[in-house]
Structure 1
């Protein structure tokens, strides 16, 4: 009775209620009720406090500790979304006859072609394209892609002939989904490059075709199986990094920047909720084993991520260790770039390539294994 009346016990119950409410907020579409997105963002704090409650009550009263411990066990998949821990996970072993697929996903930031992004002699652009061209990956999914045709206007000559360098010259087929071709013939959009034959392809627009859209290819593996790979880039926040830092560094900054940031945050989360719902409907119509590469522009504790994680394996949450931050900027611990796999796949590994700092996103590299008969009787549906 004394325990139930104690301040610590009441705080524990409040934490449990907060945790359950935050999980509910993650599952509410911002299109229906956008303030729920703010509740979802508090989920990491609620998860951490619940674990603290487990430790506290283990020292005070193990019977009470059972309550937050059971909740921690049931909500562990949510914990893994933001901080992946696999202390007892055995090294994956591919069985005989399983087919390996090596996949790289990267937001290449138009290879820094704009003057404000370039460095001396366009060294970062050159190195990034060379790294992608030489990469042993079977498939490359690139967001914010840029390509110049032969005889393009850049002073570097053939430097930005990226489709040719990453594609044909590297032994890969290319599918470029173009959202803009300017007066000089330069192409902007997204791209998928594959060493496997491309037997189908398509583009998915969100209302109208912009930089934020999706594309897919159907690939024929050596054993004859067909897989589908999606590459998509969801709505950005359109929020300047400096404005975000200023907003939480001082009260004046919050007053000056806060309201504008709030409006842009709302527009972004609502747009992404509509976009991910559109994609989920398409995913549900496909019976091929799927791999997804995405710049979600959203964190693991969001409706966008939740809709994908409920249906697919997130590669980092499955095999990674730590936060797995992919944003290359002043905001720490932000993972907005993700790879997902449908249940047929075994995820071998996923690595964030921190040694490739040529964009505001770090690339991610993964190895997947597919049972040989996984698509023997499957049929894809557009």
Structure 2
């Protein structure tokens, strides 16, 4: 370091600080949010941290400086995290008999509160679903909408509550449903539901989850303006609120984990997790299931309308019994604050 210029010394100190933050972020998926709620917020920043490490690595490489090893090692250790953030390629998909598709979509109550000026949101969502023809459709923030046509699904389970406005989750299926249930989350309006579905000679359990929201505005400009106006105390309140939401998510994830442990069928989990793929919650809900984006997705897999940041907080997880043949997200569909995601699966026994 003594041979570095003053500017490069400052840059390397910054690089060291960044590397320390990076290694700490790598440990967070293994640390319960209830123990470290403030640190858990860093899981939201991990993609940015990885990008900064890449910039530092390139900065030192062009100067042929050995300091490149620091960020190089950080990136090498985090290669599995990079794969959850961005996929460079996806396998070629050839349709075959036995394939079936699973769609997950947070529809934001079909625009019941008119957040969008479009009056045709339920119709457009309905038309999109008809076009993609999923065999299984899991909807979060479902509310009865006269213009949403689910006649293509002869079997369905809708669980909703509320006095004036009924909201909840729904599972629509082209296969027969033989059992359903609701999983309550304490001290929360969120929940998860499940349905046992007969496909061929097999029974599959499908979970549809909607975990606690961290309540961050999707508009980066609005966030910047708010932060400029509020004082340090209010900023700390925002972090405490996020930490509290992460603690609730941890409890909700543990409830789902315990419930699925008693299931003897192959499992598919869909839904809005409201958390990143670098979190403790993601790691625990996924368990030994396959993340369909990681298996067969491409690009960022953006699922939430957050400006300038490709947030992926909606997931389809599938049992290892299934081959994940295709995965797509649809960021061009702007009828909700979330984008639909769909996976094509096939039973490995039939291959």
Scaled to the shorter chain, the TM-score interval is 0.7 to 0.9
Q: Cα offset for 1:201?
A: 1.6
Contact 2:38 2:240 in 1 (8 A): no
Give the direction of change, closer, same or farther, for the CA distance of 1:144–1:267 in structure 2 (3 Å limit): same
Query: Which residue of the partner structure matches residue 40 of structure 1?
Result: 43
Residue 38 of structure 1 aligns to a residue whose secondary structure is: helix
Q: Cα offset for 1:298?
A: 1.7
Query: Which residue of the partner structure matches residue 123 of structure 1?
Result: 120
- CA distance in 2 between counterparts of 1:73 and 1:329 reads 28
Say if 2:140 is the partner of 1:143.
yes
Give the direction of change, closer, same or farther, for the CA distance of 1:73–1:285 in structure 2 (3 Å limit): farther
**Aligned with residue 365 of structure 1, among 323, 342, 345:** 342
- CA distance in 2 between counterparts of 1:171 and 1:251 reads 46
Query: Which residue of the partner structure matches residue 176 of structure 1?
Result: 158
- CA distance in 2 between counterparts of 1:190 and 1:298 reads 18
Contact 2:23 2:74 in 1 (8 A): no
Q: Per-residue displacement from partner, 1:131-179 (whole Å, max 9, x unpaired)? A: 335541100000011126xxxxxxxxxx25x4xx31xx21430111122
Contact 2:218 2:305 in 1 (8 A): no
Give the direction of change, closer, same or farther, for the CA distance of 1:227–1:125 in structure 2 (3 Å limit): same
Structure-2-length-normalised TM-score: 0.84
Residue 178 of structure 2 aligns to a residue whose secondary structure is: strand
Q: Per-residue displacement from partner, 1:222-241 (whole Å, max 9, x unpaired)? A: 2x122111100011123445
Query: Which residue of the partner structure matches residue 104 of structure 1?
Result: 103
Give the direction of change, closer, same or farther, for the CA distance of 1:106–1:171 in structure 2 (3 Å limit): closer
Contact 2:256 2:285 in 1 (8 A): no
Q: Per-residue displacement from partner, 1:65-102 (whole Å, max 9, x unpaired)? A: 6675455333211112222223xx542568x8x73120
Between 1:132-141 and 1:323-332, the stretch displaced more is 323-332
Say if 2:344 is the partner of 1:345.
no
Two-structure CA RMSD over aligned residues (Å): 3.3
Q: Cα offset for 1:272?
A: 1.0
Query: Which residue of the partner structure matches residue 132 of structure 1?
Result: 129
Aligned length: 347
Structure-1-length-normalised TM-score: 0.78
- CA distance in 1 between counterparts of 2:134 and 2:241 reads 36
Query: Which residue of the partner structure matches residue 201 of structure 1?
Result: 180
Contact 1:28 1:36 in 2 (8 A): no
- CA distance in 1 between counterparts of 2:180 and 2:205 reads 9
Q: Cα offset for 1:286?
A: 2.6
**Aligned with residue 228 of structure 2, among 229, 252, 264:** 252
Query: Which residue of the partner structure matches residue 190 of structure 2?
Result: 212
Contact 1:246 1:253 in 2 (8 A): no
Query: Which residue of the partner structure matches residue 215 of structure 2?
Result: 238
Q: Cα offset for 1:215?
A: 0.8
Q: Cα offset for 1:128?
A: 1.8
Say if 2:273 is the partner of 1:290.
no
Between 1:6-15 and 1:36-45, the stretch displaced more is 6-15
In structure 1, the gaps of 5 or more residues are 149-158, 375-382
Residue 321 of structure 2 aligns to a residue whose secondary structure is: coil
Residue 80 of structure 1 aligns to a residue whose secondary structure is: helix
- CA distance in 2 between counterparts of 1:346 and 1:3 reads 54
Say if 2:169 is the partner of 1:190.
yes
Say if 2:199 is the partner of 1:221.
yes
Contact 1:176 1:191 in 2 (8 A): yes
Residue 24 of structure 1 aligns to a residue whose secondary structure is: helix
